[in-house]
Amino acid sequence: MGDTTIDPAAALAAFRASCAQQGLLTPRDSLADGDVSDGLDDDATLLRFLEARKMDATAALQQFQEATQYRTDKRVLRVYDLISVEDHDETRKLYPHWTGRRDRRGMPLLMLDVVHLNAAAMAGWRKTRDTSQASQTPSIVPDMAQRAFVHFDGLTRCVLPLCAAVRDRSDGPVPITRSVYVVDASTVSIRQAWDLRDFAQEISGMLATCYPETIDRILVCNIPFFFARIWSFMKRFMDPITAAKLVMLPSADVYPTLVGLIDHEDIPRQFGGAFNYTHAMLPDLDPGLRQRLSWTDPTREELPPGPIKWMVNSQGERRLVATGTTDGLQRAEEIAVLHPVESASA
C-alpha cells in the first residue's frame, strides 16, 4: 500500500519522470499537429493513475504501462480520428453517455437507461466485439473494444477538460477528473442481468484499467424489490473498485438523493427533474458551458454528432474540433474556441 502522507505534487513529479524514462510520454505518431494531451498523459491523467494505486508509484507505473500498451495495440488514437460518425453514435447507445449537464460540483452527468440494453443490443455488441477486420482497417470496421475506447476517450479528452474550464463552481480551478453516472434500472430483470454479465465485466475492467478514478459515483435509480438477488451475482463480474461506487436507490429515494447533488433543471424528467433527456441524445450544454465557448456558428451553439477533441492553434487558442469520418472523408471542423478565463462569463 502507498504512503498516504506523501506530497501529491512531489509524487506526481516523480511519477512523470518514471513514465518519461519508460518512454511512455513520447509524442504519439497518431496525434495530429495541435492535438492536446488532455486525457492521455497530462498531469490530471497521471494523478488519476497514482490515486487509483493509493500513491504507490510502482503499481501506478505498471498500470499505466498496461493501459498504454492496450491502447497502442487497439490503435485508439487513430481510430478516434477515423471512426465513422455513424459507428460512434451507435456505440453511444450502449454506454453511459454525457447529457451535457453537470452536478453542483461541476462534474459531468452521464446517463444510461438499462431498458435499452436488451437482447438485440447485446447481440449487436457481441457481433462487433471481435471483428477480425478491425486490426487491419480500423477506419472502416473498428471492433467493439476500439469503439468503446473512442467513447470513453471522448469523456477524458473532451468532456472533462471542458467542465474543468468552467469557473462557476466553489472550488474554482481544481481540475474536474471524475463524472457521475445516473442509471435507470427500473426495467431490469434477472434474465436481462444474466445476459449482461460479460458486458458488465468488460466495461468495468476497461474503466478500471485504462480510465481509473474517472467515476465519482454511480447512482442506480428505481431498483426493483428483487434487485438484491441481481446484484449478488452481477457484482462478481465487475471490478470491485467500480462496484464499490454504486449507490442503490429505490424509487422513493431517487429524487431526494439526486436533488441533493444536482440542480432540478439538470435532473432528467423521468426522475422528477426538468431536464428533457432522451436516450443517446447529443449533449445539451448547460448555460455555464455554453458561455465558456465562442461558437464558430453563433446560430448553432451545440455539439455535433461524432467524436470531438481539443486542439491548439498557432495563437495558443484551444479549439473544439469535430473529427471522425463521414462518407469515408475525415472531418476537421472547428466548432468553438474556448474563451480565456479572464473574459469568460462567470
Q: Does residue 81 sit in the same domain as residue 145?
A: yes
Same domain, yes or no, for 59 and 100?
A: no
- pLDDT, averaged per 10 consecutive residues of the chain (346 residues), comes to 69 95 84 91 95 95 96 92 94 96 96 94 84 46 90 97 87 84 94 90 92 96 90 84 92 98 97 96 95 92 96 92 93 92 45
Quote the pLDDT of residue 132.
45
Number of compact structural domains in the chain: 2
Asked if the structure places residue 296 within a domain, the reply is no
pLDDT of residue 140: 53
Residues 37 and 143 in one domain: no
**Final residue before a domain boundary, out of 250, 284, 318:** 284
CB 340 within 8 A of CB 100: no
Give the per-residue pLDDT at 24: 93
Q: What is the DSSP string of 38-98?
A: TTTTSHHHHHHHHHHTTT-HHHHHHHHHHHHHHHHHTTHHHHHHHSBHHHHHHHHTTS-EE
Considering the domain boundaries, does residue 346 fall inside one?
no
Domain interval for residue 34: 1-73
- Residue 239: inside a domain, yes or no? yes
**Same domain, yes or no: 201 and 280:** yes
Residues 6+ apart with CB under 8 A from 336: 293, 294, 295, 296, 319, 320
Task: Tell me: do 248 and 117 sit in the same domain.
Answer: yes
pLDDT of residue 134: 42
Do 89 and 50 share a domain, yes or no? Answer: no
pLDDT in tens, 14-70: 999 999 999 999 777 778 889 999 999 999 999 999 999 999 999 999 999 999 999
In what order do the strands lie in the sheet containing 293-295?
A: 293-295, 333-338, 318-322, 308-312
Q: What is the pLDDT of residues 74-94, one digit of tens each?
A: 999 999 999 999 999 999 999
Q: Check which CATH number belongs to the domain holding 17 and give it.
A: 1.10.8
Instruction: Please tell me the predicted confidence (pLDDT) of residue 32.
Output: 84
Beta bridge partners of 330: 325
